[in-house]
Structure 1
Amino acid sequence: MALSFCAQRPAAFLRAPGQFLLSWPRLSSRDPPLEETVIRIPRAWQLRLQKVESKAARRARLAAAAATPNTRAGKLLLRTRREDLSQGTGFVVGRWERPRLVSDGWKHRLSRGDYFQLERTKQELPQARDKANSSSSFPELGVEPQVAAALQDALAISEPTAVQKQAIPVLLGGHNALCAAETGSVLPSRELAGQVRSIASYLCVRLGLQVREIGGGRGMAMVRRKLCSGPTDLLVTTPGALCKALRRRMLSLEKLCFLVLDEVDTLLDPSFVDLVEDILQQTPFATNSKEVNNDWDPKTQLVAMGATLPKGLGDLLSKVTDLSSFSMLTSYYLHRLQPHVEQKFVRLKGSDKVSELLQLLKDQNSTSGAVLIFCSGARTVNWLGYILDDHKVKHVRLQGQMPAAMRADIFTRFQTGQFNILVCTDIASRGLDTTRVELVVNYDFPPTLHDYLHRVGRVGRVGSKFPGTVISFVTHKWDVDLVKKIEMAARKRAPLPGMEAPVKKP
């Protein structure tokens, strides 16, 4: 028996949890059958066996998921040269599922030359679809007939967008509001202030209202002359110019009726936030609609607007007023990638970006729309401009170190079509009228997801003839971190992470 026990392995059968049934085969038919023996397995061994089994099951599940195609017959949501990583519009990624990303390996130098492209899944703007599905008009929302007529005559705007339908009744009701939409007063730049003033002047002239603009870069003597030239009903200004005027007691905000913070995410930039807080501290804000409509002692109604709403906005506003008094007005596509704009991400070596850019500009049809090329700083704008000059590429440059008058003249020439290529910093990514733009090139990838959304917002705008395309050059490891978040949000059809609204809807 001892020899047979060592020479032959027992057959093991699972009898119950923690038990194995062992039996040895008979040496011959003449031998009597052996009794079955039950061996109990220690608890630690059982847990170890279960852990090994769960790892194997997980590997099998991941292998099966990898073998499952992300595409179906029909339109693609995400296109790449690796077909197994492309994703069709009919494929849905679960909320907690972690799909395979094209950009997962982009921090390795061997990934240079790889790319993926977010296809255009909608052929028209979300605002255009909303207008087509509704018959509301500006007069029906409570807008003065003279203003509605001016909108039609000056801008050919007759129907409000979805977010305007939400916002106009709330604002006319005297409520404080946070308003955000995917397109997109105290203003962050002189160019945007001038643009708002020109439109506001045309709309207000029919109402007998006087509009004035003050901005930085022109000296306080000019600001004083403008403020002393007569009564002002609507003042369009930048934070720096307004703060200087307040400190010199050129004007007071005690009788201010409305304060609009446009491009509010930019106003929370370190270069602006202290100025904005100083302005807010000097403004007597209303906590309800009754205080706004009080004829004897009216308080200021506050409206903050932008294409994105940063988290720090709630902390800033809570210092000067009650957050519960705010109405939250947002569109569905807020903080989401725009479905009507084609977006391509190309992994490149830094020294290859110039040649790639020149090829893009060469392929651009002369009858096509304008091109915006975004750089990280003024030095890069100037350097890239010299390169384009050497290759006889007609263009203009726009960056913050230029004098105010020069910046205004440059952007006017670009808007009017004298130049079709603008090399710029993020100074041109907020609010400016860029309906002529067909292509945006992120020569330097933006530093934040907020900046990426604003750059994408330069194309596919209301009134534009072009659906728009954005091409981003990805060179650094920190660029890849942002690209992975963008790709994940695109595959899950979810908002970009870390961009939650600062005040929750009641």
Structure 2
Amino acid sequence: MFEELELDDALCRGVAEMGYTQPTSIQAMVIPDAMEGFDILASAPTGTGKTAAYILPVAQYLLDHPKRINGSARALVLVPTRELAIQVAEQANKIIKFAGLRCDVITGGINYGTDKAIFEQKPDILVATPGRLFEHIEKESFDCRDIESLVLDEADRMLDMGFSAVVNQIAAEARWRKQSMLFSATLEGRGVRTFAQELLNEPKEFNASPSRKEKAKTLQWFHLCDDLAHKDALLEHHLQHSIESCIVFIKTRERLHALKDKLMNKYGLVYLQGEMPQDKRNAALAKFKSGEAKILLATDVAARGIDVPNVSHVINYDMPRGADVYVHRIGRTGRAGAKGTAISLIEAHDYIWVGKIERYTGESFKARVVDGLRPKHKAPKLVKKSKPKNKAKRKKSKDTSKKRSKK
């Protein structure tokens, strides 16, 4: 129970209204030490409640230590994307609804007049994307000296997007903070570890594996496609059958628009892509979340950070650039223990991803067929690179020949 974590009644009430009674594994791990004031370094899969894992202790600190002066935000949450910023702020405001606290968002794509109004309202918690916030710091329209808690969410994604230098500069501006927390999908790799060493002070480290109840229950398979026309036919077959809420991933904006033009008159759909005005992005997500549009076409800008309840299907119309991106894509369905389905439409030139995904996930990735839409061609054979044999012998003979030539 959340009450057992010694959280304020107002915060427990907010969480209860959201429908949660038991903390998830990452929440149970992080919250006690975070409330003690320790820096936190944590890894948790998507959909396991990590937003509440940092918002609850941050909010508890703000309640325990009321601000004495009417200054800037006292808690700062940095996230890599606009969509994630909006989502985190929405969840935070639900959690702190009865606590007399306020959370606001600063991201790119919004006019600066809106940002000014937000700063004037002096929110307790500010959720921001690094680039836009640093612009305000340089213009001296935001002061980091009041920041007491700094949270980095999806730190691995921020590194991928090239934000490390900007985040370090923001952290330096907020050097009087009392606590820092870093959350990442993975703690593997030198990049995240270096990031953590620069920003955290003797952190408590947590690597949360979700419980069986929290684990995504996602059924995965692929269809082998002969060509683009076959791929389109398979896509439409699934869109017409048992799709309650579906995200279709496409690799480029050009291919997204081509597919949108094919499907727009047949289905209620919206789309997300890079370099899209923020108001249009927000409107598309709102329609999808409300169920007004059951299909969302998206490039990988939407692969991380979008938390839409009850997405029944993810369809990979195009395969992603890496197995890790595949995992993040299919993580949009089967969230928080719900059942989900992930279908990939694979042409011959993408067949190499079958083996890569199996190795990365440690799970079988099998083909299925649809009656009437069976592929005419067999799956291509994957040619394994042969390892050079008798390497030591060849080296020895090479060394021997060198000695002979010297003689």
- Separation (CA, whole Å) in 1 of partners of 2:90 and 2:236: 36
Q: CA deviation at 1:373?
A: 0.1
User: Which residue of 94, 102, 120 corresponds with 1:210?
Assistant: 102
CA contact (8 A) 2:324 2:360 kept: no
- Separation (CA, whole Å) in 1 of partners of 2:208 and 2:199: 26
Q: Is 1:201 aligned to 2:79, yes or no?
A: no
Pair 1:138–1:333, CA change in 2 (3 A): closer
- Separation (CA, whole Å) in 1 of partners of 2:160 and 2:181: 18
Which residue is 1:182 aligned to?
Answer: 45
Alignment of 1:179-328 (within 5 A): 179-184=42-47, 185-227=77-119, 229-284=120-175, 299-309=177-187, 311=189, 312-322=191-201, 325-328=202-205
One-letter amino acid matched to 2:333: V
Q: CA deviation at 1:187?
A: 1.7
Structure 1 unaligned blocks of 5 or more: 1-136, 285-297, 494-506
User: Which residue of 329, 340, 345 corresponds with 2:206?
Assistant: 329
CA contact (8 A) 1:435 1:462 kept: no
- Separation (CA, whole Å) in 1 of partners of 2:82 and 2:171: 20
Q: CA deviation at 1:321?
A: 4.4
Q: What is the TM-score when the length of structure 2 is the normalising length?
A: 0.75
Which residue is 2:15 aligned to?
Answer: 151
CA contact (8 A) 1:459 1:469 kept: yes
User: Which residue of 376, 383, 388 corresponds with 2:258?
Assistant: 383
Which residue is 1:290 aligned to?
Answer: none
Which residue is 1:415 aligned to?
Answer: 289
Cα RMSD for the two superposed structures:
2.4
One-letter amino acid matched to 1:332: S
Which residue is 1:487 aligned to?
Answer: 358
Q: CA deviation at 1:271?
A: 4.4
Q: CA deviation at 1:458?
A: 0.8
Q: CA deviation at 1:339?
A: 6.5
1:47-85 Cα shifts (integer Å, max 9, x gaps):
xxxxxxxxxxxxxxxxxxxxxxxxxxxxxxxxxxxxxxx
Which residue is 1:473 aligned to?
Answer: 345
Three-state SS of the structure 2 residue aligned to 1:342 is strand
Pair 1:275–1:473, CA change in 2 (3 A): farther
CA contact (8 A) 1:459 1:468 kept: yes
Q: CA deviation at 1:275?
A: 2.7
Which residue is 2:380 aligned to?
Answer: none
One-letter amino acid matched to 2:181: V
Q: CA deviation at 1:333?
A: 5.4
- Separation (CA, whole Å) in 2 of partners of 1:488 and 1:236: 36
Pair 1:341–1:257, CA change in 2 (3 A): same
- Separation (CA, whole Å) in 2 of partners of 1:201 and 1:314: 31
CA contact (8 A) 2:273 2:299 kept: yes
- Separation (CA, whole Å) in 1 of partners of 2:34 and 2:254: 43
Q: CA deviation at 1:142?
A: 2.3
CA contact (8 A) 1:347 1:473 kept: yes
CA contact (8 A) 2:41 2:196 kept: no
Q: CA deviation at 1:434?
A: 1.8
User: Which residue of 309, 314, 322 corresponds with 1:448?
Assistant: 322
Which residue is 2:384 aligned to?
Answer: none
- Separation (CA, whole Å) in 2 of partners of 1:220 and 1:470: 40
One-letter amino acid matched to 2:130: P
Q: CA deviation at 1:196?
A: 2.1
Alignment of 1:332-351 (within 5 A): 332=209, 340-351=217-228
1:19-42 Cα shifts (integer Å, max 9, x gaps):
xxxxxxxxxxxxxxxxxxxxxxxx
CA contact (8 A) 1:371 1:420 kept: yes
Three-state SS of the structure 1 residue aligned to 2:180 is strand
**What is the identity percentage for the equivalent residue pairs of Structure 1 and Structure 2?**
30
Which residue is 1:394 aligned to?
Answer: 268
Pair 1:476–1:239, CA change in 2 (3 A): farther
- Separation (CA, whole Å) in 1 of partners of 2:227 and 2:163: 32
One-letter amino acid matched to 1:277: N
Pair 1:310–1:376, CA change in 2 (3 A): farther
Pair 1:490–1:410, CA change in 2 (3 A): closer
Pair 1:388–1:444, CA change in 2 (3 A): same
- Separation (CA, whole Å) in 1 of partners of 2:309 and 2:260: 23
Q: CA deviation at 1:481?
A: 4.4
One-letter amino acid matched to 2:140: R
Structure 2 unaligned blocks of 5 or more: 48-76, 365-407
Pair 1:485–1:218, CA change in 2 (3 A): same
One-letter amino acid matched to 1:160: P
CA contact (8 A) 2:187 2:193 kept: no
- Separation (CA, whole Å) in 1 of partners of 2:303 and 2:361: 22
Q: CA deviation at 1:354?
A: 1.6
Pair 1:278–1:178, CA change in 2 (3 A): same
